[in-house]
Structure 1
């Protein structure tokens, strides 16, 4: 039986809380294939303690931590070998969940934690026409990885406020993370995987599906299924066809629908926001100003004066 995404997120957050003796860290996840997910946690310790973390439950998967602040750990024990570690922003710390590890809790730290299972690595690689990826390996513990650092900075506000973005955005970051780790840590050679744009019927079906579900939260997984494509292929093909990601297109169409609904004086701004799929009136307003340079209220007034 498949475990719900929310249940998986709560399980990861609860396990981190217990192992590191911290409040349950905010955690989100994307499921792109089957029951396999990629999770993101704002993983931090704000109180120094003279003890170490508990060892993780053994599973086939990997964790990458992107440090947001400089931290010195007096003891990090990996596979029985202990060392002190100076963690710096821009560095990536890879943990294999099949091996035992623990860290000292005498330091305050602030990370974005990425977790991916071996099954997710392989199934998504298979979608790309790549053979099985034999695990992830870093050159050394704490290697420079500016791409992961930027991904961490991008996903951090989403972890703290999940209602502010679409499911498609979280899935897009998950796809980008998977691409990055298989080439950087999985030993996969970058090849010339040919990806064309969507066919006319696929593009029409994807856009129609988005229009029909604007008030909800259309996901890349659902869109790719409508077109009979894998999530990774669909995302690349959609961007080639439209010149933007599915998430960007969804926001653009929501703004367009909002402009149309502003002409109806019977609708409040809060009602328009809900009909367009925004969380609330404030969320609608922020995106509207970003796209048009004016507020929804001003746009409505301007439309009335022109009328």
Structure 2
């Protein structure tokens, strides 16, 4: 489902990446594609100045969130330009329908999410019942919610082997919904609260979640089976179960692991794989977080 590439800065074959950055200046260059979303981590440690320039296209919309302070960016529009300071949690929005030029000054560390035009259009209608008229955000303005989500996304991107596609997909929907609600040209006040899954859709969604392995869970596939959009499905699932799909699935896996710990002599690594975790370390960390004690200790107490 995901396609991730990480490029070493000294051996990057391409001169510029898909966002117009010079790849050979990047300390970190991560791109992860997931349907309507493309996730990026762009980090440069050197105090350099470089230019970014991309022509107009139909790619969609990009939101960038700064993970650190000290970056400056001169954004050029026609014959006018303006310098913007970026602190931690500072944000900028880039519409790919427009030409983009900017001079990047100093080091930076950004998490970015690119949304397809279809996702933005569908989410706008779903949230407000009207067409999106664009986005309004001063480059460099701070948004603590985006800042928090960016920190979580950065950790997920940095831990490729442990990243849950389901969790990352949910992050994309959450970031996109906040983008539309707070920076979009259409109001979100008309969203109707209290939407729940029907019993049929709840059962279907749970069965599909349990049937999937860690590597091929797709919210898009489950939402489509319920004849719902992905963002509507996530909110309706949470309204119905008081859990996100990812939280609910983790709890089910932990419950199954408790049964195996109590009733079988399987090793922790065998139980981890049987319950859908990537490895024993992932299983132990998740079990400890949700149960409050490591699985080995829990097994000894359960059998005593």
Report if TM-score (shorter chain) is over 0.5: yes
Q: Does 1:27 find its partner at 2:26? A: no
Structure 2 match to 1:279: 278
Contact preservation (8 Å) 2:126, 2:191? no
Task: Measure how far apart 1:217 and its partner are.
Answer: 4.3
Instruction: Map Cα deviations across residues 241-295 of structure 1 (whole Å, 9 max, x no partner).
Output: 1111111001101101111122354422111111111111000000111111111
Matches of 1:48 and 1:144, distance apart in 2: 23
How many pairs were matched up? 294
Alpha-carbon distance change, 219 to 212 in structure 1, aligned in 2, over 3 angstroms: same
Deviation digits for residues 27-74 of structure 1 (CA, Å, limit 9, x no counterpart): 33433xxxxx2222122111233x522412432322222112222437
- CA deviations on 1:6-47 (whole Å, 9 max, x unpaired) are 289999x9424754543461233433xxxxx22221221112
Query: What is the CA-CA distance between 1:203 and the residue it aligns to?
Result: 1.4
Q: TM-score, normalised by structure 1?
A: 0.84
Q: Which residue of 1 aligns with 2:43?
A: 44
Aligned positions of 1:54-133 closer than 5 A: 54-60=52-58, 61-73=60-72, 75-128=74-127, 130-133=129-132
Write the distance in 2 (CA, Å) between the matches of 1:160 and 1:262: 31
Distance 1:213 1:243 in 2: 21
1:158 to 135, 156, 159: 156
- 1:168 Cα shift? 2.1
CA–CA distance in 2 between the matches of 1:80 and 1:9?
Answer: 36
Specify the alignment match of 1:34 in structure 2.
Answer: none
Alignment correspondent of 2:168: 170
Stretches of structure 2 that go unaligned for 5 or more consecutive residues are 8-13
For 1:194-213, what aligned pairs fall within 5 Å after superposition? 194-213=193-212
Is the partner of 2:54 in helix, strand or coil? coil
> Contact (CA 8 Å) 2:214, 2:278: kept in 1 or not?
no
**TM-score (normalised: structure 2):** 0.85
- Give the structure 2 partner of residue 260 of structure 1: 259
In 2, Cα distance between the equivalents of 1:197 and 1:54?
Answer: 45
